[in-house]
């Protein structure tokens, strides 16, 4: 069976198959970030608060997370082609209804449906690409996959801002309709189920209801805690504390149940593969850095540099150019050089760029942001293709669907953790640095007195000399808050750099990159 699965090749060209599956997947990943900048418009148009509008994002991510790891089981149970077509159809239909929503409740509900349908598209497309391309071309296949899952979150805020400014927030969803319909036609014409799936379906047992319930409870509560934690002051809020406890206990119960179940809905035994376990850990860290930095830089540019949402997005978007260049180049070279060399160089380069951003100041221009972002994109592209092929290249085809679900889930969870952590550290780090700066810049400080005198003298020339001192104090307070905030951003970039370096020891646990990448027949 294993030999038959590995010898099977699809009837149609892998390039056409890649176009079919990645068209829908790109839309799905894009929808995780494209709506961020439109939340105030949604809230105003649908007569709701901004806090209520944030559930448009949270509901999508929760539904996404629950479906991701069970994609392998659903593919076997219903047939991968049938399941893929159903996901694309429901995602497209839900997009249309989201665009036509007349209330916030309806919009959130259909975002849940959209997220559930779209959640399976990432692992499905990855598994299909890994099987469709021959072993020596899998690097190219993963480069195509990387264009969707790495580039889409980067350009999402910029595209969302442009659509919202020039048309309406509703067109963020309507734009999915023609591309979703095209993806359905292509998938119906080009995708086929490999023989081993039919045999696996014949042997499939009943659904693991307990495993599904524990997994849904764990991922839903975790995603809500990560998304709402900072907004609700974390564990100072009772329901956040209880959700965290429930999430931790249900995760432990889920792992124990799945390891003992005869027909688990998520087969965690695939983590016994050393390459896959190490690769999944490093992909989680890459998710933290990717989404964390995408959240950090636009916020810095908008809050401290007074950039518009569109300008800040344009400053970040060149990262996608670097990622595309690197992935296409590395995809062709993956069989010639040990993959671990690429991964090590990529994480080292990513760490250096993060440390470069840790030297950021308020005198920078857009050029100073664009160049390091291109370098960051290059580093991410160098990492993504070899890391994916090395992690999954040694698995049997029958394991691909299950493994890709776990792999993509951990990248997405890493992204949620990254965004949550950096937002918390910005808020609390700003308060901490402001307290420290205020302690050293008090009324008895010669520096404070000099600044106060100079600013008061300047203010007295512009208006009322009596109020000049009060205005000067206000200016000093604003400068203090600005510097404290900048120091918090610097701390975050240093943390992301350290996380990148923490991945380097994991390379020692991986087998040789050429074998893992699939340049020889899989075991």
In three-state secondary structure terms, 356 is helix
10: left (phi over 0), alpha (psi -120 to 50) or beta: beta
Total number of residues shown for the chain: 523
pLDDT at 452 exceeding the cut of 80: no
Count CB-CB contacts under 10 A for residue 415: 25
Confidence label for 333 from pLDDT (cuts 50, 70 and 90): confident
Q: Considering only CA atoms, which of 34, 18, 30, 20 is closest in space to residue 145?
A: 18
For residues 218-232, give the mean pLDDT. Answer: 85
Question: Where are the alpha helices (H) located in 121-208, listed in sequence order?
Answer: 121-132, 138-166, 171-174, 176-190, 195-203
Write the pLDDT tens digit of every residue in 229-250.
Answer: 887 888 888 999 999 999 999 9
Identify whether the C-beta of residue 187 lies closer than 8 Å to the C-beta of residue 81: yes
Count CB-CB contacts under 10 A for residue 100: 13
Q: What is the DSSP letter of 232?
A: T
Question: How does the average pLDDT of the chain come out, rounded?
Answer: 82
Q: What is the pLDDT of residue 5?
A: 45
Q: What is the pTM of this model?
A: 0.80
For residues 36-64, give the mean pLDDT. Answer: 79
Percent of the chain with pLDDT over 70: 87
Return the higher-pLDDT residue of 176 and 127.
176
Return the higher-pLDDT residue of 136 and 428.
428
pLDDT at 515 exceeding the cut of 60: no
User: CA 249 → CA 218, 230, 379, distances in Å?
Assistant: 8, 22, 37
Identify whether the C-beta of residue 88 lies closer than 8 Å to the C-beta of residue 122: no
Q: Considering only CA atoms, which of 284, 292, 425, 430 is closest in space to residue 353?
A: 292
In the 3-class helix/strand/coil scheme, how is 87-129 assigned residue by residue?
HHHHHHHHHHHHHCCCCHHHHHHHHHHHHHHHHCHHHHHHHHH
| Residue 235 CA from chain centroid, whole number | 25
pLDDT at 8 exceeding the cut of 70: no
Interior/surface letters 25-38, b for 16+ CB within 10 angstroms, e for the rest: bbbbbbbbbbbbbb
Count CB-CB contacts under 10 A for residue 451: 16
Identify whether the C-beta of residue 257 lies closer than 8 Å to the C-beta of residue 210: yes
Count CB-CB contacts under 10 A for residue 447: 10
Q: What is the pLDDT of residue 3?
A: 45
User: CA 162 → CA 40, 128, 158, distances in Å?
Assistant: 15, 33, 6
For residues 289-318, give the mean pLDDT. Answer: 80
User: Which residues, in sequence order, are CB contacts of 162 under 8 Å at separation 6+?
Assistant: 310, 313
User: CA 36 → CA 11, 50, 172, 427, 468, distances in Å?
Assistant: 40, 11, 11, 19, 41
| Helix (H), strand (E) at residue 234 | none
| Tokens coding 277 | 């376990």
First to last CA, the chain: 12
Rounded Cα gap, residues 407 and 278, in angstroms: 11
Say which range, 198-212, 400-414, 448-462, has the weakest mean pLDDT.
Answer: 448-462
Rounded Cα gap, residues 309 and 312, in angstroms: 5
Q: What is the pLDDT of residue 250?
A: 94
Q: Considering only CA atoms, which of 235, 290, 287 is closest in space to residue 424?
A: 235
Q: Considering only CA atoms, which of 283, 521, 307 is closest in space to residue 385?
A: 283
Q: What is the pLDDT of residue 97?
A: 94
In this structure, is the dihedral angle defined by the CA atoms of residues 323, 326, 327 and 328, taken in order, positive or negative? Answer: positive
Write the pLDDT tens digit of every residue in 75-104.
Answer: 888 888 889 999 999 999 999 999 999 888
């Amino acid at each position: 069976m294993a030999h038959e699965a590995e010898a099977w090749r699809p009837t149609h060209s892998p390039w056409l198959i890649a176009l079919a599956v990645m068209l829908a997947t790109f839309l799905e990943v894009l929808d995780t970030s494209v709506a961020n900048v439109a939340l105030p418009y949604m809230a105003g148009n649908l007569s709701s608060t901004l806090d209520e509008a944030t559930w448009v994002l949270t509901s999508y991510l929760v539904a996404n997370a629950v479906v991701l790891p069970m994609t392998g089981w659903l593919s076997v149970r219903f047939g991968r082609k049938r399941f893929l077509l159903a996901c694309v159809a429901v995602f497209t239909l839900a997009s249309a209804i989201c665009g036509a929503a007349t209330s916030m409740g309806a919009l959130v509900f259909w975002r849940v449906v959209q997220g559930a349908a779209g959640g399976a598209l990432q692992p499905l497309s990855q598994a299909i690409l890994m099987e469709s391309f021959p072993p020596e071309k899998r690097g190219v296949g993963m480069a195509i996959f990387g264009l969707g899952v790495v580039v889409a979150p980067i350009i999402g805020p910029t595209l969302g801002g442009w659509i919202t400014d020039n048309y309406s927030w509703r067109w963020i969803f309507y734009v999915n309709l023609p591309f979703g319909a095209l993806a359905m036609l292509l998938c119906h014409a080009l995708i086929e189920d490999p023989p081993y799936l039919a045999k696996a379906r014949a042997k499939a047992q009943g659904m693991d209801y307990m495993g599904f319930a524990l997994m849904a409870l764990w991922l839903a509560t975790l995603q809500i805690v990560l998304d709402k934690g900072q907004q609700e002051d974390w564990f100072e809020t009772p329901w956040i504390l209880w959700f965290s406890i429930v999430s931790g206990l249900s995760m432990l119960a889920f792992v124990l149940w799945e390891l003992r179940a005869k027909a688990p809905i998520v087969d965690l035994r695939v983590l016994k593969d050393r390459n896959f376990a190490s690769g999944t850990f490093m992909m989680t860290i890459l998710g933290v850095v990717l989404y964390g930095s995408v959240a950090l830089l636009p916020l810095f540019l908008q809050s401290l540099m007074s950039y518009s949402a569109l300008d800040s997005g344009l400053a970040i978007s060149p990262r996608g150019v670097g990622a595309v260049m690197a992935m296409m180049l590395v995809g062709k070279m993956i069989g010639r050089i040990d993959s671990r060399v690429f991964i090590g160089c990529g994480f080292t380069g990513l760490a250096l760029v993060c440390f470069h951003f840790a030297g950021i100041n308020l005198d920078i221009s857009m050029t100073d942001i664009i160049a390091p972002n291109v370098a960051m994109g290059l580093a991410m592209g160098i990492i993504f293709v070899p890391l994916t092929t090395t992690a999954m290249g040694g698995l049997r085809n029958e394991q691909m669907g299950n493994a890709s679900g776990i792999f993509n889930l951990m990248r997405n969870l890493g992204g949620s953790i990254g965004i949550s952590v950096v937002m918390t550290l910005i808020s609390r780090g700003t308060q901490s640095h402001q307290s420290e700066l205020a302690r050293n810049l008090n009324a008895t400080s010669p520096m404070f007195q000099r600044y106060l005198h100079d600013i008061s003298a300047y203010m007295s020339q512009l208006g009322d000399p009596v109020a000049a001192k009060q205005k000067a104090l206000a200016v000093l307070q604003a400068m203090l808050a600005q510097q404290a905030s900048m120091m918090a951003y610097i701390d975050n970039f240093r943390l992301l750099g350290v996380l990148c370096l923490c991945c380097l020891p994991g390379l020692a646990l991986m087998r040789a990159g050429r074998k893992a990448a699939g340049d020889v027949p899989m075991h």
